[in-house]
Chains A and B, each alone.
Chain A
Amino acid sequence: MSEREIMEYDVIVVGAGPSGLSCAIRLKQKKPELTVAVIEKGAEVGAHILSGAVIEPEPLDELLPGWKDAPPPVCIPVERDEIWLLRPGGKRLRLPTPPQQKNHGNYIVSLGAMCAWLAEKAEALEVDIFPGYAAADIRYTADGAVGGIIVGDMGVDRDGQPKDTYMQGIEIHAPLTLISEGVRGHLAKRLIARYDLAADCDPQTYGIGMKELWRVQPGKAQPGLVQHTAGWPLDSRIYGGSFIYHLDKDRIAIGFVCGLDYQDPEFKPFEAFQQMKHHPMVREMLEGGEILSSGARAISEGGYQSLPKCEMPGALLIGDSAGTLNVPKIKGVHQAMKCGMLAADHLAETGAAEGFDAKLRDSEIVRELHRVRNIRPAFYKGFWRGFIRAAIETVTLGKLPLTTAVHADDSALKKVDEYSAPERHWVERDLPPRDRLASVYFATTEHDEDQPVHLQIIDPEVCTTRCVTEYNNPCTRFCPAQVYEMTGEGDQMALQINAANCVHCKTCDIKDPYQVINWVTPEGGCGPMYQNM
């Protein structure tokens, strides 16, 4: 294999999400002479972005003063907040809105569209943005520091052999690498292990978020209305709930999030989402409408306790690669943007990674996480105890001198013979999509089938020997895109991986109880093609 071609930059940003783009913009504002590149595995900026999303506008005010004169394409001021506790049998109860969830002054956006909009701002500042190219590996310098990234090869067949169209990926050398891959990035995972960045924190914990964008019957969407639900269809042992954000043009963004620390090996997050849509309150909104786009993405929920060290020689972890999302607020965008901007300020000032972690921990970003650190863990003991504890933590602004430890999600799952699920009162469904395959259709995900499988099973024996008896192969249920299927019986039993369906949510990499699934990036430009998600 020949020497890889090399491009050199002062700063390379991995991932064109809110943290990476904010960082790139801020860097060029402060130091226009720096050369900055952003590499993005989605076919275009925003294609792999999925979020609610209600955002706090402060970081935008700071980064791009006057942004409201030409706002992102989907940007609706929040008019009203509602929180509902859903009960089985179509019952519901209005709950008071906790202070963190009051959204006056915030905006409902499509984060995908907003990132595409941010990318234009970055390009105007001469940031080079390369969508459709995946950062497949880290490039290390001779002295063991991160020195940039290696772009994935294109045109490689299933067995790893070059095809006629083979194109070797280049190396991008940079003295500073910003890892802004979002939740559970595959490069971040390697870096956290290599530099032992999680040595002094709890394991990161996660949730899975699924979302559909609907066009509903005229008059049913009330632009600016923000609704959240808790309760049914989840039983009280599973943390989660839904969001229903009313946009303009008869569109409603509806989504469902549940903690990946659930114990029930038979639980199906996707099915829970679909059930939620059949509560009469929700069903009434959606009936007669159509799905425009759908998808899923893991969310970091560990917060303060799980925040790894965010610097290493030559590189920083920012945004949700670090895990700065505020769970009780149900918001991460403002945190991610602020984190990217703080990184930019630090780099512009010092020109080196060292010292960023201390600045981050001394910033409002981490102070915000500290105030709410015990709220998400309170729900480990079930919904009602969590509800009360959360109220106490909220009233005391997190000043109680106690921090609840958090535990890794993959260790939470109980074995099939150790768990029996409570009655959840789930109902017959008739709203689309019928099943996960019908849902993937709206994610417009695409992978050239003739490429190496990007979901690596480190020890496939485990699937057909231990996992099938102990957990009944939960990957066939927790994956929202039906990537994993068990085929055959007895000696013929095998795990089939429909990698082409993958929507890059990373749930399998997180929840697999044996940690034998390793998500790596497929060829650049593959994966979902979200529209206004």
Chain B
Amino acid sequence: MKILVGIKRVVDYNVRVRVLPDGSGVDIDGVKMSVNPFDEIALEEALRIREAGNADEVIVVSAGGDEVQQQLRTGLAMGADRAIQVKTGEPLQPLSVARAFLKVVEREGVELVLLGKQAIDDDNSQTAQMMAALWDRPQATFASEVKLDGGKAIVTREVDVGLETIEVDLPAVVSVDLRLNEPRFVKLPDIMKAKRKPLETVSLEDLGVAVEGNLEIGSYEPPQPREKGIMVEDAAQLVGELKNRGLL
């Protein structure tokens, strides 16, 4: 069985994100870029499935310019067998990504797609769902446990009311949540091995996928800064201040 794992290059979770003064986007000048943490969890799960003998090959895929090769190499260093870059200079929206990934699935004969439940940059949480719909195959989103049983996947999902366990027939798309696993550290010699692993580049056009834009971004704005607080001496002053502000 082949597993496909989607990897997105995003601003590192530890970076203080800053909106550009003109509101046109987020400042990524000199900022560390990383693999989307949820995608790392998806890859870790794929590797564990392969290591347990339930898959033959783990392929990582990312859509973007040549800079995404850096994140694909990280995926290879973690243990993926090979990587595919869907090359495009355009920023892609989830629908285009879903279409592109689906083409890869069809070409490679993938049976299980593991994706992060969302990317930490735009928080869309759409690609997995769209992909399953386009593929007309089952989806299991927000997985906190994945078990394979013959041609089925038994997936525990994190939902608002608690945990829900569902069974889906493979092929299927699974999107993973934070508690599924803790990704491994990359071993230093594996970084060197990753340099020699195959990384194939295929253009979006060659896959026959058009860049679609059904979302339009107006502008970005930072949240309002918190107003400066005051220190009160005692409860009486606190009550007084609240009354002055019409809050009591």
Using Cβ atoms and an 8 Å threshold, which residues of chain A touch B182?
A: 164-165
Closest to B191 in A: A130
Residue B32, interface by CB 8 Å = yes
- Cα A44 to Cα B30 in complex, Å, equals 11
- Asked if A205 is at the interface (CB within 8 A of a chain B CB), the reply is no
Q: Which residues does chain B contribute within 8 Å of A133, judged by CB atoms?
A: 188
Alpha-carbon separation in the docked complex, A215 to B20 (Å)? 11
Is the Cβ of B185 less than 8 Å from the Cβ of A130?
A: no
B65 shortest CB reach to chain A, Å = 16
Is B15 among interface residues, defined by CB-CB distance under 8 A? Answer: yes
Stretch at the interface among A94-102, A235-243, A441-449: A441-449
Chain B: minimal CB distance from A491 (Å): 31
Query: Contact between A7 and B188 (Cβ–Cβ < 8 Å)?
Result: yes
Q: Is the CB of A167 within 8 A of B184?
A: yes
User: Which positions 179-206 of chain B face chain A at CB distance < 8 Å?
Assistant: 182-185, 187-189, 191-192
Cross-chain contact of B30 among A7, A165, A167, A532 (Cβ < 8 A): A532
Q: How far is the CA of A529 from the CA of B14 in the complex (A)?
A: 8
Secondary structure of the B side of the interface?
loop
Neighbouring A residues of B15 by C-beta, 8 Å: 444, 529, 531
Question: B232 in the interface, Cβ–Cβ < 8 Å?
Answer: no
Contact, CB under 8 Å: B29 / A170: no
Q: Given that A444-B16, A529-B14, A531-B15 are contacting pairs, would A110 and B187 also be in contact in the complex, using a CB cutoff of 8 Å?
A: no
- When distances are taken between beta carbons in the complex, the residues of chain A under 8 Å from B167 are none
C-alpha spacing A260/B114, complex, angstroms: 54
Q: Please measure, in the bound complex, the distance between the C-alpha atom of A151 and the C-alpha atom of B191, giving whole angstroms.
A: 14
For A441, the closest partner residue in chain B by CB is B16
B10 CB, min distance to chain A CBs, angstroms:
14
Closest to A163 in B: B182
By a CB distance below 8 angstroms, the chain B residues around A73 are 29-30
Which residues, 151 to 189 on A, are CB-close (under 8 Å) to B?
151, 154-155, 164-165, 167, 170, 172
A172-B23 Cα distance, complex, nearest whole Å: 47
Q: A336–B96 Cα gap in the complex (Å)?
A: 49
B166 at the interface (CB under 8 A from A): no
Report yes or no: B189 in contact with A165, Cβ–Cβ below 8 A.
no
Also in contact, A165 and B184, with CB within 8 A (given A110-B30, A531-B31): yes
| Assembled-state Cα–Cα distance A7/B183 (Å) | 24
CA A155 to CA B185, docked complex, whole Å: 8
CB neighbours (8 Å) of B25 from chain A are none
The answer to whether the Cβ of B147 comes within 8 Å of any Cβ in the partner chain is no
Expressed in whole angstroms, the minimum distance between the Cβ of B70 and any Cβ of chain A is 10
**Provided the pairs A7-B189, A170-B188, A532-B29 are in contact, do residues A444 and B21 lie with their beta carbons within 8 angstroms?**
no
Name the distance in Å between A399's Cβ and chain B's nearest Cβ.
44
Query: A292 within 8 Å of B by Cβ?
Result: yes
* Chain B residue contacts of A165, Cβ below 8 A: 182-185
- Which residue from A5, A154, A155 sits with its C-beta under 8 Å from B189? A5
A5 to B21 alpha-carbon distance, docked (Å): 49
Binary CB contact string for chain B from 1 to 39 against chain A (1 if under 8 A, 0 otherwise): 000000000001011101001000000011110000000
> For B29, B30, B187, which residue has the most chain A Cβ atoms within 10 angstroms?
B30
Pick from B16, B183, B192: contact of A128, CB under 8 Å = B192
Q: Is A339 an interface residue (CB 8 A)?
A: no
Verify if A43 is at the interface (C-beta below 8 Å from B): yes
How many A residues face the partner with a CB closer than 8 A? 31
Any B CB within 8 A of the CB of A113: yes
Q: Name the residue on A nearest B32 (C-beta).
A: A44
Knowing A442-B16, A529-B12, A529-B14, say if A170 contacts B31 (CB, 8 Å).
no
Taking A167-B185, A215-B21 as contacts, is the C-beta distance between A112 and B30 under 8 angstroms? yes
For A113, give the chain B residue with the smallest CB separation: B30
Q: B188 to chain A: which residues have CB within 8 Å?
A: 7, 130, 133, 151, 170, 172
> Which chain A residues lie closer than 8 Å to B183 at the CB level?
165
The distance in angstroms between the C-alpha atoms of A471 and B16, with both chains bound, is 37
Nearest chain A CB to B139 CB, angstrom units: 29
CA distance A164 to B187 in the complex (A): 15
What per-residue 1/0 map shows which CB atoms of A497-533 lie under 8 Å from chain B?
0000000000000000000000000000000010110
CA distance in complex: A531, B189 (Å): 28
Interface mask (B45-76 → A, CB under 8 Å = 1, otherwise 0):
00000000000000000000000000000000
A47 within 8 A of B: yes
Instruction: Please judge, given known A-B contacts A5-B189, A154-B185, whether A43 and B29 are in contact too, CB under 8 Å.
Output: no
Residues from chain A with Cβ under 8 Å of B18 in the complex: 292
| Residue of B whose beta carbon sits closest to that of A168 | B187
User: B187 is contacted by which of A116, A170, A172, A446 (Cβ under 8 Å)?
Assistant: A170
Residues 382-396 (chain A) with a chain B CB within 8 angstroms: none
Which residue of chain B lies nearest to A151 when distances are taken between CB atoms in the complex?
B188
Chain A residues with CB under 8 Å of B189's CB are 5, 7, 170
Q: Which residues of B contact A215 (CB under 8 A)?
A: 21
- Chain A residues contacting B14 (CB-CB under 8 Å) are 43, 444, 446, 529
Cβ-closest chain B residue relative to A133? B188
B188's nearest neighbour on chain A, judged by CB, is: A170
For the complex, give the distance between the alpha carbons of A154 and B29 in Å: 29
Closest to B183 in A: A165
A154 to B182 CA separation, bound complex (whole angstroms):
13
- B225 → chain A closest CB, angstroms: 10
A378 to B172, CA, bound (A): 75
Q: Could you list some 27 contacts between A and B, CB below 8 A?
A: A5-B189, A7-B189, A43-B12, A43-B14, A43-B32, A47-B32, A73-B29, A73-B30, A128-B192, A130-B188, A133-B188, A164-B182, A165-B182, A165-B183, A165-B184, A167-B184, A170-B187, A170-B188, A172-B188, A215-B21, A292-B18, A442-B16, A444-B14, A446-B14, A529-B14, A531-B30, A532-B29
User: Interface on A for B, CB 8 Å cutoff?
Assistant: 5, 7, 43-44, 46-47, 73, 110, 112-113, 116, 128, 130, 133, 151, 154-155, 164-165, 167, 170, 172, 215, 292, 441-442, 444, 446, 529, 531-532
Report B's interface with A, CB cutoff 8 A. Answer: 12, 14-16, 18, 21, 29-32, 182-185, 187-189, 191-192
Extra pairs beyond A110-B30, A172-B188 (14, CB < 8 Å):
A5-B189, A7-B189, A113-B30, A130-B188, A151-B188, A154-B185, A164-B182, A165-B185, A292-B18, A444-B15, A446-B14, A531-B30, A531-B31, A532-B30
Nearest 5 interchain pairs by C-beta: A532-B30, A167-B185, A154-B185, A531-B30, A446-B14
